[in-house]
Amino acid sequence: MNLYQFLSVLRARRTMVFVIFLSTIALALAWVMLRPKYYTAHAPILVDLRANDPLAQPNYQSIVPQAYMATQMDIVRSNRVAERVVDMLGLEKDPESKEAWQKEGGKGTLKAFLASDLLTGLEVKPARESNIINISYTSRSATQAAKVANAFSEAYLDVALDIKTDPAKKYSTWFDDQLKFARDRLEKAQTALTAYQQRTGVISADGVDMETQRLNELSSQLTLVQGQLTDVANKRAASAGSISEAMNSPLINTLKSNIAAQEARIQEASANLGSRHPQMIRMQDELNAMKSRLSSETASIGSAIDTAYQVGRARERELQSAVNAQRARVMQFNRFRDELNVLRRDLEAAQKAYEAVSERASQSKLQALTNQTNIQRLATAVEPLQPKGPTTELALALAAFGGLLLALAGALLMELLNRRVRSVDDLSLATNLPVLATVPAHNGRESLHLLTHAPTRPALSYRGSLA
């Protein structure tokens, strides 16, 4: 079908086209005038993923944006937020709300019913490529739409804060119990350490070092005394005259020289004098006196060595006893030190545990008292001026366009159901024969009379040649 045929169909069925077109516009106008008006209010919320929480633990804020935003939107649509909106608006006290609940059978609680009813008008969508959540509420009243949208945004902020602080409040109570337990443990460890120090007298490990130093000094003294005692014992075992004290004594050496000189004089005098000579007797008495004194001096040196040996032995026994006692004391102090170190480690561990629990308890209390989140209200929902849906002008324009398409489609459909010959092209298409010539239409009355009374034959059944 070409354009001429199409226009011929429209000209022939123009009445139906106009009826369909006008009917569509009339229906659209009636829908615009009679449709219920719904108003939608918007309350945008900003979710700041970059906000740093000073009370949060390290590596705690590694948030996946998509999952986090989806979670926040689910929270907005949750029954918990809706029930808080019911409380904020006081809908449970509204007689109409109770009547509507009872008409539905009164199943469940009134608050759950109202919350579910509020959720039907709620729409939560994220803004494209941003961290903004648009909370929209649709109602027949513009005032009610804005009021409920603001209530949802406020309830969402409150619930988000509760979700953040509720675990901290529970942890705070738990940490208080743990802090009390850690404090008792610290006090017991401190008491045990103090009692042990008072019982043993060991205040610190420095005392053990001092006792060890004293043991080393006594051991050195004992070694020295034992060396001296060995030397004295060797001298004691030797003859008194051969020891170094006797050989180095000036008096003994003088006596030995005098004895030698006296013996020489006696030897020289004996050649002229007899043994009974008074001079020989006097010289012999002097020699005997010198020898007696030499023996006495030598004996005194031996006695001194023996005395030194006895003193050395006594000193050795005394030092050995002192060393043994000091060694036992050092070993005891080492045991005390080990036990003291154990008690100190217990005290340090209890102190660290108490400090850690105290720090976490303080942090939990601060988190429980915080009133800030990473969620902010960007704007307050205002009463919408226009109802939801297309305006009257747009609705009529769309109805006109749709009515025109529907009218054209209706005309073509009717033409296909009842095909007529309206042009030369239609005739050629119907007979499958070529058209050799056409006679132009004439508006004269004669021509009209001839055409009216002339014998007619259906064009579609003609099979001959028009020539």
The tens digit of pLDDT for each residue in 35-81 reads 667 788 888 988 877 655 555 554 444 556 778 888 888 988 888 88
pLDDT at 84 over 80: yes
Which CATH number is 200-369's, of 3.30.499, 1.10.287, 1.10.1740, 1.10.3470? 1.10.287
For 259-297, letters b (16+ CB in 10 Å) and e give: beebeeebeeeeeeeeeeeeebeebbeebeebbeebeeb
The tens digit of pLDDT for each residue in 164-193 reads 877 777 777 888 888 888 889 889 988 988
The tens digit of pLDDT for each residue in 106-163 reads 777 888 888 888 888 888 888 877 788 898 888 888 888 888 889 998 998 888 888 8
Question: 57: phi > 0 → left, psi -120 to 50 → alpha, else beta; which?
Answer: beta
The span from the CA of 84 to the CA of 465, in Å, is 90
What is the pLDDT, as a whole number, of residue 461?
A: 37
CB 138 within 8 A of CB 37: no
pLDDT at 289 over 60: yes
The tens digit of pLDDT for each residue in 205-244 reads 555 567 778 878 888 888 888 887 777 676 665 555 545 5
Strands 122-126 and 132-139: antiparallel
pTM value is 0.51
Structure tokens at 170: 């529970």
CATH topology of domain 3-166+371-393: Bacterial polysaccharide co-polymerase-like (3.30.1890)
Q: Where are the domains positioned within the chain?
A: 3-166+371-393, 200-369, 422-467
What is the pLDDT, as a whole number, of residue 234?
A: 67
* CA distances to 164, 332, 340 from 211, in Å: 60, 10, 16
- Segment among 358-367, 428-437, 445-454 with least mean pLDDT: 445-454
Reference 319, options 222, 250, 399; nearest CA is: 222
The tens digit of pLDDT for each residue in 309-321 reads 788 788 888 888 8
What is the pLDDT, as a whole number, of residue 65?
A: 73
Which residue did the predictor score with more confidence, 413 or 249? 413
| DSSP letter assigned to residue 321 | H
- Segment among 209-223, 334-348, 410-424 with least mean pLDDT: 410-424
CB 367 within 8 A of CB 239: no
